Structure 1
Amino acid sequence: MKKIIMLSLVLSLSFASCTSQQKIAETKTSTPENYLKAISQENLKKNLYVIASDEMQGRNTGEPGQKKAGEYIINQYKKLGISFPKGADSFYQKVPSEYMKKGFSPKLNDSENIWAYIEGSEKPEEVLVISAHYDHVGMKNGEIYNGADDDGSGTVAVMEIAKAFMEAKKAGKGPKRSILFLHVTGEEHGLHGSRYYSENPLFPLKNTIANINIDMVGRRDNLNPNDSNYIYVIGSDRLSSELHTINEEMNSKYVNLRLDYKYNDRNDPEQIYYRSDHYNFAKKGIPAIFFFNGIHDDYHKPTDEVEKIEFDALTKRAKLAFALAWELTNRENRIVVDRDGK
């Protein structure tokens, strides 16, 4: 009888030990699911009501309103405990007025890209860039063009993604690769800020594993009047088959948006692939993916206001970008570049 009791005790302790080890293993293997909830609809709204307020005067490139918006962005990063990147001496990368004369730009003042950074725990030299432009078109005929969707929505999404990664880092689950959160200037006047970064990178482009670009993700477009549970995905298959596949997997597993590839069609007349900041990374051979909600009636009009943002849709789209970024920064190998970009 004693032998039976002892055997039962040993088996019980052995099972408890195995269960405990399994729980430890599960804890060490974190997933984006644990931090998706950190992307808060309320926080997105709070930040966007500031970024796209009249106080920012439409955030025209190099003007006081844009600089004030930039100061707000930086202060939010400071509150989160996220600093500027190694190798930089501030949150700013100056983009000179002289540089922005290229293309169709009017005379612009000196402006700045804004960057924040979370260093990777295992492969810090490899960097994912998550970008959005924080400029808009300013004021015209006394009216303020607040650009809540374009691209206030992408701006606050990047900030919220950074917050979620910082929560993971504080819990000991920070990304294995580094992340550069890049708020670029001058997009509205010719993609100047992203072009400047791509030509003057802080980190070698050969170590930049991918770019996730977020530009207009807070509304539904005229092609989807009855449904906002979608996102246009552009460029994901141009340079890397893996980037495309991983994005679809992350969406299916965690978010379940309808992924629409209309604007990724090489023959689409809008040619959106060439019209946002991801393109300046793609043309340097860096796999890039662009999330976009399409064109609506308030595009580049003073009626692009925060009150028209669909924050439930914005939140889901930000969560998809976060889940994709999580996988790209934590997977064993960096994604392949196996296509020619066309």
Structure 2
Amino acid sequence: NLVSAVPDWSSLSSSLSSEAAIHGPFGNSPETYSPCLSLGTDAYKISKENYGLCMHAHACQHEFCEGNFDYDLPSYTVEAKTESDIASVFDFAAEHDIPVSVKTTGHSYQGSSTQKGSLMIWLQNYEKDLSIIKSYVNSCSDDDVNKVAHDVISIKAGAVWDDVIEAVKGDYHVVTGGGRTVSSIGGWLQGGGLSFSSRLYGLGVDQVIDFTVVLTNGTIVTADACANSDLFWALRGGGGGTYGVVTNVHYKLYDVTPIVKLEYFSGISEAARDEYGGAYESIVEKWFEFWIEKSPNLDPKWCGGFFGEEYAHLLYCGNKEDAQKSTFYKEINAWYWNDLPWNTFVENVWGSLILPLTVYDSWYDYRGGADAYQNPCE
């Protein structure tokens, strides 16, 4: 195939749907990105402004997200609204040998959703759907091994977790990304999808019953355990945009469950380090020794969370009574009261603390409820 030397951008524009738009050309320069910097850290605005050029981590305006490298900005962006828009971009890019990048929000801290000189498919304003379907069945109706029937939410490419959480509310449990402004079915999901409740429910990719994908040749296919099963396997961890653009996913929902939060903290003021620094380092070491020993064998109902050298934020998917009866809850309290010198701690100076358990009625409530929707402070 011959590659046209001079792209006719008006021909791409005329091939798009009436609601789609092409933006550019953009220079690969600080002037192009400067409107993004004025948005600060408001991920909601960053995702929507400046024609898709902004990144949640502003360092990723540069290659490798490093300020001493060149800018890494697309030459044009297409605000896609339909699958045919995406197919048109692929056709045009193939004809003119132009690299393609794909972005919904720009949350990637590796800069994976932007590329210097590329034609970007920008999905921020694509349809979201968010309809809930009971007992949805994949294409494997005659295959007892691969058949799946499950309550799902239908998620299209324009949705972020903020939208999904608000659609599900407290009616179900849903396995979500860490940030509300993360694209629901883009890089997070196709990269595996680690969640705060993955220890019990699995990764994000384990929730997918099927994908709808626009392939780079413009073909639109559905991939599940029986139809295009090799593509279904590859999409569950192969990376966002690697095999095409995912435009829709049927994603599992579970019975609603309470969420119990356990928090452990330790700390020391700078002024107290000379006097108490050695004792403080000892409790940090004790915490890591305890956590390294116990964490591999946690009951899966301790479904997720995060931790560091001075803290743990751990979640139990179930009720408070069962959390308190669990082996781990008993072990961490016994460790705290028996192994730490808690009687030598000085309030507001140094020490550690296990906070009282906090109980939320659902994942929706744990993630902030209605007050968190479209709220950059949450």
Give the TM-score normalised by the residue count of structure 1.
Answer: 0.29
* Structure with larger RCO (C-alpha < 8 A, sep 6+): 1
From the CA coordinates, give the structure whose radius of gyration is larger: 2
Greater share of helix: 1
More strand by share: 2
TM-score (norm 2): 0.27
